[in-house]
Structure 1
Amino acid sequence: MFGFLKQRRQTPSGFSSSSAAEEVTAGIDGSGLVAIVTGASSGIGAETCRVLALRGVRVVMGVRTPSAGERVKEEIVKNVPAAGIAFSPFTLSDDGIELQFATNYLGHFLLTNLLLEKMKITAMESGIEGRVVIVASDSYKHTYREGIRFDKLNDASGYKGILAYGQSKLANILRSNELSCRLKEEDAKVVVNSLHPGVVATNITRHLGIIKDILSPIAKLVLRGVEQGAATVCYLALHPQVAGVTGKYFVDFNAVELKPPATDKELSKKLWDFSVSLLQ
C-alpha cells in the first residue's frame, strides 16, 4: 500500500535514497584508516561506527555517556569479524551557550580544530587524503531571519526550538564551507564536505513530547532507517568517487546547490571568528 513512498530512484552516483551504508561501501578496504565518530552511542553515529568497522577502519567513538558507548562497542565487536539534539526547549549548556548550538555545532567545531593539525600532517606524510564529514541537514533552510543570531544566541526571548535547530545545522554548513576554503589555501591534503542524511527515525526528536507520539505511526512509514541515514556519511568517508571533492553539500550521495544564507561567504567567516571567540 505504501510502496510508493520508498521507490529506488538511482542518482548519478549509482546509488539511491534507499541505499544503505553497507551497500555504498561494499568492496572498499578501510584498513589503515582511523575515523573519529561523534554521537556514536545511537542512531546514525552508531550505524556509521558499525559499517566503518566492518570495512576495516579503526573507529574512535565519541560519546556523552561511556556506558552507552560501551554497549554499542560490544555489539560491533560481537558482530564484526554522531551527538545531536533537536527542537529542545530553551536551555543553556554548562558553559552558558544555547544548548542546540553548543551540542550540534560548537562542540564539533572545537573537536575538528583540535584534530586538524594532526590530520594535515598525517595526510601529508602518508599520502592518504584526510576527510572531514559534517552531518548537517536541509533544516538549514528553516532558521532565524538573520541566519545566525550572533547578538541573541543565548537570549531566551524570540527563541524557537525548530529555528534554533535550523540555525545549528546552517552553522555546520557554513563551517564546512569556510574550513574547506582555508585548507585549499594551505594546499592541505584534507577535504571537507557536509551532508543531509535524510529524515531519519532516531531519538533526536525526543523533546517533541506528545507531538512525537501522535506522529510516530506515520513517521515509521516515511522516515529512513539508520542504515540509510548513515549511508551518505560512510560514502563521503570512504568512497573513491569523492576523492579530492571538497566544500560541497551532499544529499543522497550527490552534491547539490545550497540556498542562501548557506552560500554567504562573509557569514561563514563571521561565524568562524565568532566561534573562536566563544571558545576562548
Structure 2
Amino acid sequence: MWLFSKKGPSGFSSSSTAEEVTQGIDGTGLTAIVTGASGGIGAETSRVFALRGVHVIMGVRNMVAGVKVKEAIVKDNPAAKVDVMELDLGSMASVKKFASEYKSTGLALNILINNAGVLDSPSKLSQDNIELMFATNHIGHFLLTNLLLDTMKETAQRSNVEGRIIIVSSLGHRYSYPEGIRFDKINERSGSCGPFDYNQSKLANVLHANELARRLKVLRKISTNISWYYILYF
C-alpha cells in the first residue's frame, strides 16, 4: 500500500524493517531493557538490538516464552548478549522486584523501551486493585520508568552517551473516551475491555511521555543526557 511505502524525512517508511533502520549502527557497549520481549515488537526489537551489539535485558511475564526467544536469538547470533528477567507490568510488586534486581546487578542502562501491553482481555482488577489493562499498559511502565530513571541518569553522566526512553503507544490514543481518560471510572467495567478502554491506556502512554519529555528537557540543562520518544503503531 502506498501509505506504508511512502518515505519520510528519515528516509524510511512504515514498511521499513528494524534491520534496515539500524543498518551500520554499532550498539556495542550499550545496555537496553525491552519489556514485553517474548513476542511481537518486543521480540524483534530484542533480536535486532542484539544483532547490533547491544546487551539486551528482556523483561517478560512468561519466562518459558522469553527463554525460547533468547535461545532463538543466540542460535542465529552466538555473540549476542541477552538476558531474560521476569517482569509482570500488571503487578506493582513484580515491577519493584524487577527494578531492584536490575539495579543490584550494577549494569548500566542506556535504553528503556516500554513496549509490553495487552489489547484484548477480560476486565478484572490487578493485585493492586487497578483495572488490569490500564495497570499493565500504563501504570506498570510509569512505575518502572520512575524506578530506573536514576540509573539512566548515572549511566548518561558517567558515559557521556545520551540515553533513550521509548514508550510504545498507538494511533488509537486519538479515539479514547470524549473526556480522554476516565480517571474516576478506571475500574468501573464489566465483561471484556472495549476499544475505548484500550485507547485510553494508550492516551495515558502519550501523556506520560509528553510530561516526561518536559521534565527531562529541564534536567538536560544541568547535563542529564536522556531523551524521550514515543512510537505510534497502527
Q: State the TM-score, normalized to the length of structure 2.
A: 0.79
Which of the residues 33, 38, 58 maps onto 1:36?
Answer: 33
The reply to whether residue 45 of structure 1 matches residue 34 of structure 2 is no
The reply to whether residue 153 of structure 1 matches residue 155 of structure 2 is no
Query: Separation in 2 of the partners of 1:114 and 1:25?
Result: 28
* Distance apart, 1:150 and its partner CA: 1.1
The reply to whether residue 175 of structure 1 matches residue 172 of structure 2 is no
Superposed CA RMSD in Å reads 1.7
* Distance apart, 1:195 and its partner CA: 1.1
* Distance apart, 1:119 and its partner CA: 0.4
Aligned pair in 2 of structure 1 residues 7, 68: CA closer, same or farther (>3 Å)?
Answer: closer
The reply to whether residue 106 of structure 1 matches residue 142 of structure 2 is no
Per-residue CA distance 1:157-190 (angstroms, 9 max, x = gap): 7985210100110000100110111111122210
* Distance apart, 1:6 and its partner CA: 7.3
The reply to whether residue 197 of structure 1 matches residue 213 of structure 2 is no
Q: Counterpart in 2 of 1:8?
A: 5
Structure 2 unmatched ranges of 5 or more: 79-114
* Distance apart, 1:83 and its partner CA: 2.2
Q: Tell me the secondary structure at the aligned position of residue 183 of structure 2.
A: coil
Query: Separation in 2 of the partners of 1:197 and 1:34?
Result: 24
Using CA pairs under 8 Å that are at least 6 residues apart, name the structure with larger relative contact order, 1 or 2.
1
Q: State the TM-score, normalized to the length of structure 1.
A: 0.67
Query: Separation in 1 of the partners of 2:19 and 2:165?
Result: 20
Q: Tell me the secondary structure at the aligned position of residue 184 of structure 2.
A: coil
Which of the residues 9, 24, 27 maps onto 2:24?
Answer: 27
Q: Tell me the secondary structure at the aligned position of residue 100 of structure 1.
A: helix
* Distance apart, 1:94 and its partner CA: 1.8
Percent same amino acid among aligned pairs? 58
Query: Separation in 2 of the partners of 1:51 and 1:26?
Result: 10
Q: Tell me the secondary structure at the aligned position of residue 136 of structure 1.
A: strand
* Distance apart, 1:5 and its partner CA: 6.2
Structure 1 unmatched ranges of 5 or more: 199-280
Q: Is the 8 A contact 1:89 1:161 kept in 2?
A: no
* Distance apart, 1:95 and its partner CA: 1.4
**Residue 74 of structure 2 aligns to which amino acid in structure 1?**
V
Query: Separation in 1 of the partners of 2:3 and 2:77?
Result: 29
How many residue pairs align between the two structures?
195
Select the structure that is richer in strand: 2
Aligned pair in 2 of structure 1 residues 43, 159: CA closer, same or farther (>3 Å)?
Answer: closer
